[in-house]
Copies of this chain bind each other. A is one copy, B any other.
Amino acid sequence: MVIAVRNSFSTRLASTAAAVEGLFARLLDATPLADEIARPARLIEAMRHASLGGGKRLRPFLVVESAALFDVPAERALMAAAALECVHCYSLAHDDLPAMDDSDLRRGRPAVHRAFDEATAILAGDALLTLAFDVISRDEVHPNAEVRVALSRLLARTAGIGGMAGGQMLDLEGEGRFGAAAPPDIAQLQAMKTGTLLRFACVAGALLGEAPSEAREALDIYGRAFGEAFQIADDLLDVEGDAVALGKTTGQDAAAGKATSVSVLGIAGARARLAELTARADAALDRFGARADLLRDAARFVVERKS
* Chain B residues whose C-beta falls within 8 Å of the C-beta of A262 in the assembled complex: none
Complex-state Cα separation, A146 to B125, whole angstroms: 28
Q: Is A173 an interface residue (CB 8 A)?
A: yes
Q: Tell me, rounded to whole Å, the shortest Cβ–Cβ distance linking A163 to chain B.
A: 6
Per-residue contact bits, chain A 38-77, to B (CB 8 Å; 1 contact, 0 not):
1110111001000000000000000000000000000000
Complex-state Cα separation, A97 to B118, whole angstroms: 10
From B44, B100, B145, B157, contact of A119 by CB (8 A):
B100
Q: Are B153 and A138 in contact (CB-based, < 8 A)?
A: yes
Q: Are A192 and B162 in contact (CB-based, < 8 A)?
A: no
* Chain B residues whose C-beta falls within 8 Å of the C-beta of A137 in the assembled complex: 149, 152-153, 156
Q: Are B156 and A130 in contact (CB-based, < 8 A)?
A: yes
From B32, B149, B169, contact of A43 by CB (8 A):
B169
Q: Are A152 and B149 in contact (CB-based, < 8 A)?
A: yes
* Chain B residues whose C-beta falls within 8 Å of the C-beta of A191 in the assembled complex: 36-37
Q: Are B40 and A161 in contact (CB-based, < 8 A)?
A: yes
* Chain B residues whose C-beta falls within 8 Å of the C-beta of A127 in the assembled complex: 160-161, 165-166
Which segment, of A181-189, A229-237, A276-284, faces chain B? A181-189
Q: Is A168 an interface residue (CB 8 A)?
A: yes
Q: Is A120 an interface residue (CB 8 A)?
A: yes
Q: Is A148 an interface residue (CB 8 A)?
A: yes
Complex-state Cα separation, A39 to B125, whole angstroms: 24
Q: Is A31 an interface residue (CB 8 A)?
A: yes
From B149, B160, B188, contact of A145 by CB (8 A):
B149
Complex-state Cα separation, A51 to B300, whole angstroms: 44
Complex-state Cα separation, A42 to B161, whole angstroms: 11
From B99, B100, B160, contact of A134 by CB (8 A):
B160
Q: Tell me, rounded to whole Å, the shortest Cβ–Cβ distance linking A66 to chain B.
A: 18
Per-residue contact bits, chain A 273-292, to B (CB 8 Å; 1 contact, 0 not):
00000000000000000000
Q: Are A169 and B131 in contact (CB-based, < 8 A)?
A: no
* Chain B residues whose C-beta falls within 8 Å of the C-beta of A160 in the assembled complex: 31, 127, 130-131, 134
Q: Are B145 and A131 in contact (CB-based, < 8 A)?
A: no
Most B Cβ at <10 Å: residue of A40, A44, A145, A156? A40
Q: Is A133 an interface residue (CB 8 A)?
A: yes
Can you list 29 A-B pairs with a CB-CB distance of less than 8 A? A31-B160, A32-B157, A33-B157, A33-B161, A33-B166, A37-B163, A37-B166, A38-B166, A40-B170, A42-B169, A42-B173, A43-B169, A90-B126, A94-B126, A97-B119, A99-B118, A100-B122, A119-B177, A120-B169, A120-B172, A120-B178, A127-B165, A127-B166, A130-B159, A131-B160, A133-B152, A137-B149, A145-B145, A145-B146
